[in-house]
Amino acid sequence: MEFLRNTWYAAAWSDEIAPGSLFQRKLLNTDVLFYRLSGGGLVAMDDRCPHRFAPLRLGKLVGDRVQCPYHGLEFDGSGACVHNPHGDGRIPGRARVQSYPVAERLGVVWIWMGDPALADAEAVPELPGLDPVVFTVNRGYINVDAHYELVADNLLDSSHIAYLHPDLGSDGVTEAQTAIRQAGDAVHVDRFMPGETLPRFLDLVYDMGGRPGDRWLEVSWQPPAVIEVRISVGPAGSPRAQARQRPTYHLITPETDWTCHYFWSSGRDFRHDDSRLHAMLQEGIARIFETEDKPMIEAQQQTIGRVDFDMLSPIPLAGDGGVFKTRSILRKLIAQERVGRTDPMRQVPVGASS
Amino acid sequence: MEFLRNTWYAAAWSDEIAPGSLFQRKLLNTDVLFYRLSGGGLVAMDDRCPHRFAPLRLGKLVGDRVQCPYHGLEFDGSGACVHNPHGDGRIPGRARVQSYPVAERLGVVWIWMGDPALADAEAVPELPGLDPVVFTVNRGYINVDAHYELVADNLLDSSHIAYLHPDLGSDGVTEAQTAIRQAGDAVHVDRFMPGETLPRFLDLVYDMGGRPGDRWLEVSWQPPAVIEVRISVGPAGSPRAQARQRPTYHLITPETDWTCHYFWSSGRDFRHDDSRLHAMLQEGIARIFETEDKPMIEAQQQTIGRVDFDMLSPIPLAGDGGVFKTRSILRKLIAQERVGRTDPMRQVPVGASS
Amino acid sequence: MEFLRNTWYAAAWSDEIAPGSLFQRKLLNTDVLFYRLSGGGLVAMDDRCPHRFAPLRLGKLVGDRVQCPYHGLEFDGSGACVHNPHGDGRIPGRARVQSYPVAERLGVVWIWMGDPALADAEAVPELPGLDPVVFTVNRGYINVDAHYELVADNLLDSSHIAYLHPDLGSDGVTEAQTAIRQAGDAVHVDRFMPGETLPRFLDLVYDMGGRPGDRWLEVSWQPPAVIEVRISVGPAGSPRAQARQRPTYHLITPETDWTCHYFWSSGRDFRHDDSRLHAMLQEGIARIFETEDKPMIEAQQQTIGRVDFDMLSPIPLAGDGGVFKTRSILRKLIAQERVGRTDPMRQVPVGASS
């Protein structure tokens, strides 16, 4: 499996990485160690000492350095070895741990696992629906035993909702016209379900009391697998601007070739102080993902086996436009990256006349 | 590993597939879904939707159709997609699940996983010892972590009984002359132990009260791994026709290359209404298979590792005639099938003068 | 992975192999069966019947023979089949189990898994520190999920002690000058820490009562992975000859490519009858190995993955001299053995003029 490297992946929720402690997560088949510098900065590096390959996560923080648990080498936040307690204390030239550019924004930790020189702070995904000034936010994390693209496929395709999610689905979702747009490398898949009686869970969340509502379901994907699903509901026939907004994010990051991390959030611009609603959303969303989506996606992966999904010639249905578009964009970007790495024009000798 | 394809394999006991429900079993490395049509017919198909490869067993029956749990496609008993709830409802040409010929006879469900055109209802194994008019029958199912031929070998070779089964064996079994006959592709291995004091379990089953008996042990194998072991016991010196008959069947079907399904039955033409005997047989036979044969066969597989048994040059003993014969017949049939599939004579262009 | 074959490996503590019983252990990827002959001799052979490959350990001892649990073949201590209860009782020519030269000395069972003709009883490692006339000995066994050389590396390198073992380490150990000597294929790594306050555990063991002591830490390695660590402690400034001696042995044997057996012992020439000290050593040493070394070495292996350590270009530190020397000796010996096996001079045709 080949992953897109020169891009930002969601690595953690900010509060998973507590000050003064070491946090480890496997990302793109690599064990990564995270910790916070005393000045507040965040660092990420390989969780592997270059001396005997002990995992640094079993060591300890000594000020802004991580100390290897096995022989006490110390590394600073750049991954450079800055203390060797043995012999004459000289630090071998290669004594360095690979570090990674990171960014932290609105409670999400992002990591760049490609060429560090290309890491672009401007390209960190904007997730305005996590802004605490505007939205009250629920969050969660799930580990899924499936290729990360299967989780992204699930989110891009609302046509499964009526079948997999009795508390969310309706015939309206299945029948709704789907508008698919591509904008650059982003893909948008929108559905509008006017004047429907909302499924129970949504009726409670949007406080509809059984009255018919208009529902907008707007999915936006950007590579590699950063997905917003904006769910807006208002009384049937009322203007869109008056609808209640619930931007939800779904940040999918490969853990290994066949497992992934799934960070989810759900913001709302209404009933901010309703702690009962807050608890209901936290429990309800986690339950839907953990007992409906995750088992289905894992069963799907089991059935497929450890082979590339695209090799299996899946039958396309009407709801799959988004899935095919995003998969094809991702393939294109990965292919471009591969070409970039082996481009012979980049290896023209210095002084050559090209 | 290569399996014989154009043959009937035991797939289930009939009562494992309850009306109105979906039943799944992995057979020859393939997940197969079974269910009953409202008219009583039985169907078998791949447990894998061709759209996103969700396992259909997690779906539900809608009349005579199975509905995919993920996006609601519906398939009829032939595996054809007959309902698409999405878009314009058109059914894509390739939206079809591979189905398999099945047959049901005397409580056994059989499946044909080769070329459906060759499936021959006449060739379904006759197992008269399951006929409830004549015999009272115990049955069971065991999953074995071993190549299916190791289980068949065990049944073909009665010389292990004295060592592995203290409740069944006797010196007589080890010393008895073995008659081996091949009839077509079937193999028969017979032993006669006249005038022996029967081992405790058999003494109880045949109600011998410690008197000496004559015992016939007749094993019949037919490919791929359908085995009858007929155990007949009568008072020493009395005519064979008066012996009590106990036809037992042992239907072995590959689950994967390295695991198998073992369906066993034991019929008796005596003491039909003796519920205590019935319970003793059920418990006793299951215990012998589960605590004596299965652990030995699984330990044997562990010791061998995941390599082809025949590559290991096993030392042949006197009791192995049946094992070598059946293995060689099976190899021959598999080789013939392989040739059939690639026979260049079958690809002579239409109109060629051959 | 390639192991040195023509050498003695520690296989068991003598008391693991009780008279009248069968003992099995996997060594160098091979299941080996051990038992004692009635005359006291010890035998080792493959735990695998040549008939159907049943594991002999599930069988039983019949006098000095092991009886196969499946079909009753019997093998003597040389691995020869000496009884076949089937048919005419003739023993097939190839009915023989591979046996291995063994030696037993001072409570250690050694096995030679190379060419039996080369097995040299004189070459069995001398471990005088196990002599019960001189030393009172604690012993233990640990199974480690790591390549056996990682365990040897750990023992050769005392520079990790201060970091991994708070009860054993001191700044003195880290700072001490290391003397490395090679003598033939053996490697010695010595450290001397004069006039230090001993860590708590050692202070108790050597009964120092907090007084400063001189400590000698002398590590000797011989291939494949037989290691002595002699720890000597005396009052600061007193002659070496008066120091209390604690020779400890660490016998490491591959179980598989990625797991190993670790036999440890600790002898002392002082406080022989102190049962409280004896229990403290037993508990304390086992705890240090099981809760400090083993988890670190297994985490190290996990981080490395199943690849050859030497391929990873580890960064060398001052304490690694012994590790690099021993690894290089072992590589050399394995390479010599490989050459020996394929030496073309050994294949000169009979009668050739060379």
The per-residue pLDDT for B350 is: 45
Domains of chain A, by residue range, sit at 8-122, 131-337
C92 chain-B contacts, CB cut-off 8 A: 315-317
User: What mean pLDDT, rounded, does chain A reach?
Assistant: 93
Residue A68 CA to residue A73 CA, distance in Å, equals 5
Helix then strand then coil, % of chain C, to nearest 5:
30, 35, 35
The answer to whether C147 faces chain A, any CB pair under 8 Å, is no
- H or E element: which one contains C297? helix C294-304
The per-residue pLDDT for A1 is: 67
pLDDT at residue A191 greater than cutoff 80: yes
Residue C9 in 3-state DSSP? strand
Residue C202 CA to residue C246 CA, distance in Å, equals 11
The per-residue pLDDT for B1 is: 67
Residue B177 CA to residue C244 CA, distance in Å, equals 72
All chains having 3 or more CB pairs closer than 8 angstroms to chain A: B, C
B210's CB contacts (< 8 A; 6+ apart) are B197, B203
Substitution target from C29, C52, C94 for chain B, most B beta carbons within 10 A: C52
The answer to whether C304 faces chain A, any CB pair under 8 Å, is yes
Q: Is the bond leading into A224 cis (omega within 30 degrees of zero)?
A: yes
- Interchain contact, C31 vs B303, CB within 8 Å: yes
Q: How close is the nearest chain B Cα to the Cα of A152, in Å?
A: 13
The per-residue pLDDT for A342 is: 57
Residue B3 CA to residue B224 CA, distance in Å, equals 9
Residue C136 CA to residue C282 CA, distance in Å, equals 12
Residue A152 CA to residue A9 CA, distance in Å, equals 14
The answer to whether B153 faces chain C, any CB pair under 8 Å, is yes
- Interchain contact, C87 vs B313, CB within 8 Å: no
Strand pairing partners for B223?
none
C153 chain-A contacts, CB cut-off 8 A: 52
Residue B106 CA to residue B115 CA, distance in Å, equals 25
Name the packing angle between helices C321-342 and C148-156 (round to 10°): 140
The per-residue pLDDT for A272 is: 97
The answer to whether A312 faces chain B, any CB pair under 8 Å, is yes
Closest alpha carbon within chain B to A177? B87
* HSE value, Cβ hemisphere, 13 Å, CA-based, for B56: 34
Q: Which tops the pLDDT comparison, A345 or A121?
A: A121
Contact B129, B248 (CB under 8 A): yes
Around Cβ A254, how many Cβ atoms within 10 Å?
23
The answer to whether C257 faces chain B, any CB pair under 8 Å, is no
Closest alpha carbon within chain C to B298? C54
The answer to whether B95 faces chain A, any CB pair under 8 Å, is yes
C60 chain-B contacts, CB cut-off 8 A: none
Contact A38, A63 (CB under 8 A): yes
Chains B–C, number of C-beta pairs less than 8 Å apart: 66
The per-residue pLDDT for C348 is: 43
Using CB atoms, pick whichever of A47, A70, A86 lies closest to residue C318: A86
Residue C354 CA to residue C344 CA, distance in Å, equals 12
All chains having 3 or more CB pairs closer than 8 angstroms to chain C: A, B
3 state SS for chain B: CCCCCCCEEEEEEHHHCCCCCCEEEEECCEEEEEEECCCCCEEEEECCCCCCCCCHHHCEEECCEEECCCCCCEECCCCEEEECCCCCCCCCCCCECCEECEEEECCEEEEECCCHHHCCHHHCCCCHHHCCCCCEEEEEEEEECCCHHHHHHHHHCHHHHHHHCCCCCCHHHHHCCEEEEEECCEEEEEEEEEEECCCHHHHHHCCCCCCCEEEEEEEEEECCCEEEEEEEEEECCCCHHHCEEEEEEEEEEEEECCEEEEEEEEEECCCCCCHHHHHHHHHHHHHHHHHHHHHHHHHHHHHHCCCCHHHHCCCCCHHHHHHHHHHHHHHHHHHHHHHHHHCHHHHCCCCCCC
- Interchain contact, A54 vs C303, CB within 8 Å: yes
Contact A3, A131 (CB under 8 A): no
Considering the domain delimited by B130-337, tell me its CATH architecture.
Answer: Alpha-Beta Complex (3.90)
Fold of C131-337: Naphthalene 1,2-dioxygenase Alpha Subunit; Chain A, domain 1 (3.90.380)
The answer to whether B78 faces chain C, any CB pair under 8 Å, is no
Q: Is the bond leading into B224 cis (omega within 30 degrees of zero)?
A: yes
Position C280, amino acid: M
Mean pLDDT of B296-315: 94
- Interchain contact, B303 vs C73, CB within 8 Å: no
Residue B329 CA to residue B336 CA, distance in Å, equals 10
Around Cβ A208, how many Cβ atoms within 10 Å?
18
- Interchain contact, B92 vs A312, CB within 8 Å: no
- Interchain contact, B299 vs C88, CB within 8 Å: no
Q: Are strands C178-183 and C186-196 parallel, antiparallel or unpaired?
A: antiparallel
- Interchain contact, B72 vs A174, CB within 8 Å: yes
Residue B315 CA to residue B313 CA, distance in Å, equals 6
Contact C262, C250 (CB under 8 A): yes
The per-residue pLDDT for C343 is: 53
The per-residue pLDDT for B352 is: 41
Contact C123, C223 (CB under 8 A): no
Beta strands in chain C (DSSP E): 8-13, 23-27, 30-36, 42-46, 60-62, 65-67, 74-75, 81-83, 99-100, 102-105, 108-112, 136-144, 178-183, 186-196, 213-222, 226-235, 244-256, 259-268
Query: Does domain A8-122 bear CATH number 2.102.10.10?
Result: yes
Residue C127 in 3-state DSSP? coil
Which of A72-76, A330-334, B27-31, B194-198 is predicted with the least confidence, judged by mean pLDDT?
B194-198
Substitution target from C149, C158, C163, C170 for chain A, most A beta carbons within 10 A: C163
One digit per residue, the tens of pLDDT, for chain C of length 354 reads: 699 999 999 999 999 999 999 999 999 999 999 999 999 899 999 999 999 999 999 999 999 999 999 999 999 999 999 999 999 999 998 999 999 999 999 999 999 999 999 999 999 999 999 999 999 999 999 999 999 999 999 999 988 999 999 888 777 788 888 899 999 999 999 999 999 999 989 999 999 999 999 999 999 999 999 999 999 999 999 999 999 999 999 999 999 999 999 999 999 999 999 999 999 999 999 999 999 999 999 999 999 999 999 889 999 998 899 999 999 999 999 999 998 765 555 444 444 443
Q: Would residue C210 be called left, alpha or beta, if left means φ above 0 and alpha means ψ between -120 and 50 degrees?
A: left
Q: Which tops the pLDDT comparison, A142 or A199?
A: A142
Within C7-103, residue ranges assigned H as helices are none
The answer to whether A286 faces chain C, any CB pair under 8 Å, is no
Closest CA to A156 of A126, A190, A125, A183: A190
The answer to whether B53 faces chain A, any CB pair under 8 Å, is yes
Q: How close is the nearest chain B Cα to the Cα of C42, in Å?
A: 23
Using CB atoms, pick whichever of C69, C72, C86 lies closest to residue B296: C69
The answer to whether B292 faces chain C, any CB pair under 8 Å, is no
The answer to whether C180 faces chain A, any CB pair under 8 Å, is no
Q: Which tops the pLDDT comparison, B40 or C64?
A: C64
- pTM score of the predicted model: 0.92
Contact C247, C203 (CB under 8 A): no
- Interchain contact, A70 vs C163, CB within 8 Å: yes
Torsion of CA C18, C20, C24, C25, to 10 degrees: 30
3 state SS for chain A: CCCCCCCEEEEEEHHHCCCCCCEEEEECCEEEEEEECCCCCEEEEECCCCCCCCCHHHCEEECCEEECCCCCCEECCCCEEEECCCCCCCCCCCCECCEECEEEECCEEEEECCCHHHCCHHHCCCCHHHCCCCCEEEEEEEEECCCHHHHHHHHHCHHHHHHHCCCCCCHHHHHCCEEEEEECCEEEEEEEEEEECCCHHHHHHCCCCCCCEEEEEEEEEECCCEEEEEEEEEECCCCHHHCEEEEEEEEEEEEECCEEEEEEEEEECCCCCCHHHHHHHHHHHHHHHHHHHHHHHHHHHHHHCCCCHHHHCCCCCHHHHHHHHHHHHHHHHHHHHHHHHHCHHHHCCCCCCC
Around Cβ B77, how many Cβ atoms within 10 Å?
18
Closest CA to A190 of A140, A240, A261, A127: A240
Q: Which tops the pLDDT comparison, B68 or A171?
A: B68
Q: How close is the nearest chain C Cα to the Cα of B72, in Å?
A: 43
Residue C64 CA to residue C109 CA, distance in Å, equals 19
Q: Measure the N-to-C terminal CA separation of chain B; round to a whole number of Å.
A: 35
- Interchain contact, C51 vs B317, CB within 8 Å: yes
Closest CA to A199 of A179, A172, A237, A219: A172
The answer to whether A338 faces chain C, any CB pair under 8 Å, is no
- Interchain contact, C55 vs B164, CB within 8 Å: no
Which of A12-26, B173-187, B217-231, B241-255 is predicted with the least confidence, judged by mean pLDDT?
B173-187
- Interchain contact, C303 vs A47, CB within 8 Å: yes
The answer to whether A51 faces chain C, any CB pair under 8 Å, is yes
For the stretch A234-282, pLDDT in tens is 999 999 999 999 999 999 999 999 999 999 999 999 999 999 999 999 9
C152 chain-A contacts, CB cut-off 8 A: none
The answer to whether B50 faces chain A, any CB pair under 8 Å, is yes
Q: How close is the nearest chain C Cα to the Cα of A86, in Å?
A: 6
pLDDT at residue A343 greater than cutoff 70: no
ipTM of this complex prediction, to 2 decimal places: 0.92
The answer to whether B279 faces chain C, any CB pair under 8 Å, is no
- Interchain contact, B318 vs C94, CB within 8 Å: no
Chains A–C, number of C-beta pairs less than 8 Å apart: 67
